[in-house]
Amino acid sequence: MKAGALQFGTFTLPDGGESAYYINLSGMLSYPGLYSLAVDSMNRLVSAKAPRTDALCGVPVGGLVLAAPLALSLKKPLIYTRGSRQGSGREVEGEIRPGWNVLVTDDLSTSGKTILTAAKAVQREGGIVTDATVLIDRMEGAREALSKQGILLHCLTDVVELADTLFSMELISEKEVKAITNSVGRLRSHKPRRR
């Protein structure tokens, strides 16, 4: 909360959808302890869920700031996708060897569109993508969309678990928890709990 990562109101998401909350993890970079915790936690997630990774692909910008230190700590090559073919004319920067298992990394997942776009660019370069990782899954269809393409989504946490934790720490209100759970279609079946 200190980093301003979770905000409430009316927001238009990058995929065009509207949401009652917004997660912006860019402020995390100004807090080295928090940033280090995120990278260390992702390191454990990747080691447990995608141990056969040959290289990491960061989705700019949020995924790249996680994938870069993660690749260093795992001693794996780093590549990243580009939004356009400016400069080098390539969709993917960095070396991909044919048949490499490439783990796509982003900060958040909502619809899965940005992860899938990166995965397809990697596949066109000869890489294999069967796994993707994010810090937070917004639980709005990414897991299902990626699964249909043969990609497993691994998340450090999801937005409902995050909301429960913040509520138990008295950092967000019950109304704010409901705004989040409503976005993922779980308002009626979910009650926040204090721990």
Domain ranges (residues) in the chain: 32-158
99-117 residue pLDDT tens: 999 999 999 999 999 999 9
The pLDDT score that the predictor gives to residue 193 is 46
**Confidence bin at 2 (pLDDT 50/70/90):** low
Going by CATH, does the domain composed of 32-158 fall within 3.40.50.2020?
yes
Q: Is the pLDDT of residue 20 over 70?
A: yes
Quote the mean pLDDT of the chain. Answer: 88
Q: What is the pTM of this model?
A: 0.88
Cα angle for residues 24, 27, 29 (degrees, 5° grid) = 125
Please say whether the beta carbons of 64 and 58 come within 8 A: yes
Q: Which residues contact 195 (CB under 8 A, 6 or more apart)?
A: 168
pLDDT digits (tens, 9 = 90+) for 143-187: 999 999 999 999 999 999 999 999 999 999 999 998 898 888 633
Q: State percent of the chain over pLDDT 70.
A: 89
Contacts of 6 (CB under 8 A, 6+ apart): 21, 22, 23, 162, 166, 172
| Residues ≥6 apart with Cβ < 8 Å to 138 | 23, 108, 109, 110, 158, 159, 183, 184
Can you give the chain as a three-state secondary structure string?
Answer: CCCCCEEEEEEECCCCCEEEEEECHHHHHHCHHHHHHHHHHHHHHHHHHCCCCCEEEECCCHHHHHHHHHHHHHCCCEEEECCCCCCCCCCEECCCCCCCEEEEEEEEECCCHHHHHHHHHHHHCCCECCEEEEEEECCCCHHHHHHCCCCEEEEEEEHHHHHHHHHHCCCCCHHHHHHHHHHCCCCCCCCCCCC
